[in-house]
Amino acid sequence: MESSGKHAGKRRAEPAAQPPTSESAASGGRPWAKLLPLALGVTLCVVAWGYLVYAAIDFGATARGGEPRAWWFLAMASLGAVVCLFVGLLLVARLMRLVGVTKNEDAEPPPPRPIGGKRAAR
């Protein structure tokens, strides 16, 4: 029997929507199988970035000492360090999405709220 009157709403709220699970959990497979290569890639990029920054500092000191070829090595080491850092940050973003810290872009956005609030929706 439906009630009518001032408080004529549902007696119980709708169940909350379950948050989407990551692809690895939904497939039932090993979640570490996707996490491990990304973590190793991030580690490799950070180590390569550190080495290239150290090399660029060394090449800069050599170039200021009068070695003209060291300027090219300095430029290449700097460019390589920038690329390594960029790729490492991309891998970190993908890792965070896989873990579930950030949302997937393919997720459906929530429906728009009615304009005017609850009273206007009646």
Confidence of residue 24 (pLDDT cuts 50, 70, 90): very low
pLDDT in tens, 71-106: 999 999 999 999 999 999 999 999 998 888 887 777
Q: Is the pTM of this model over 0.75?
A: no
d(CA 85, CA 80): 9
DSSP 69-122: HHHHHHHHHHHHHHHHHHHHHHHHHHHHHHHTSS--TTSPPPPPPPTTHHHHH-
